[in-house]
Amino acid sequence: MAGDRGGIDDYDDAITERLLGIAADVLRSFGSAFGGRHLAIVGGAVPSLLVPVPPPEIDHHAGTADLDFHLSLHLLDGETADYYQAIIDGLRGLGLRPDEEAGREIKWRWVGRYRDVRVQVEFLCPVRARAGRPELPASGTPAEANIGPSGEITALAVGFGHLVPEDTVTVERRVESSRGTLTFEFPVAGLASWLCLKADAIMRRDKPKDAYDVVWLLAALGPAEAAQWIADCALLAGERADEVRSQLGRLIADQFGDEAAVGPTAYADFLHADPGSVERRRAVGTLAALRHELSARGITLP
């Protein structure tokens, strides 16, 4: 995996298509006990899933062999041991094991070499806020939730993760699995929930690829289509609407509000642009165009 503060040279464009086949293998390894229920792909794999063929003027999305799976609380709170064991057996069967940091197992991050690629699978989940459940962590402290009774695997609680189960789409892609080609249905975070997750990530960590992923996907979709996806999202018609509008407002008006903001700066840094003024303007303009298109559809942001 590239370092969190790495740039585009640390990412391999050729891995993108292979990653989809690997992602299908990982999901299929969980078997019928789990399948795609209560799970969605989030993180850096989302842009290339939502936009398989970018417009000619847009470069292909920078690839990564990292897979982020978001689990619903329905799975974490379930009683069926087969679900949890299926995940563990599937990961181990692909040669993946918990990562280590300073001699401690990181049970929400599993790593290993698979199909000649170093693969990293991370499990994320919503923050629990009910009685008897972990509350929001102290600043800078990750909160983990056990998956199942064995304690062999955990999930990292992330802000706004509760939006993902209400905004998950199915994306069909023809992929090269370990057993041959097949059409696979990937559960993927929708654009609205994914942008909310990214806004939270940009606020909490210094990883320039977060800003790059946001700008790339919005540019590849185009601001009008991106705004329509958001407008059509069920989240905007439900009790989460104000929360989503607030988080989108943070992303656009704060994190990408002008060329000095963290988003455009991180975007230019990721591309190793020097002096980066063109790239910063592009980032600001892309997010400003999204805001304009949202407003045209009656979606007002703070």
**Residue 301 within a domain:** no
pTM of the model: 0.89
Helix/strand/coil percent split, the chain, to 5: 45, 20, 35
Residue 173 sits in the same domain as residue 209: no
What is the DSSP code string of 37-99? TTEEEEGGGHHHHH-SS--TTSPPPPP-SEEEEEEPHHHHT---HHHHHHHHHHHHHTT-EEE
Show which of 169, 189, 209 is a domain's final residue: 189
Phi, psi angle pair for 163, to nearest 5°: -75, -25
Residue 185 sits in the same domain as residue 241: no
Q: 39 or 97, which is more confident?
A: 97
Show which of 164, 189, 214 is a domain's final residue: 189
Total domain count for the chain?
A: 2
**Residue 1 within a domain:** no
Strands 154-158 and 117-126: parallel
Q: 60 or 94, which is more confident?
A: 94
**Residue 60 within a domain:** yes
Q: Residue 265 in contact with residue 213, Cβ under 8 Å?
A: no
The predicted pLDDT at position 140 comes to 39
Show which of 128, 163, 189 is a domain's final residue: 189
**Residue 2 within a domain:** no
Q: Which of 13-17, 103-107, 160-164 has the lowest mean pLDDT?
A: 13-17
Residues spanned by the domain of 36: 8-189
Neighbours of 16 (CB within 10 A): 21
Residue 54 sits in the same domain as residue 158: yes
For residue range 31-55, what is the model confidence (pLDDT) as tens digits?
Answer: 765 555 678 999 888 998 999 889 9
Nearest in space to 157 (alpha carbons), one of 215, 101, 120, 200? 200
179, two tokens: 């057993």
**Residue 71 within a domain:** yes
Residue 69 sits in the same domain as residue 137: yes
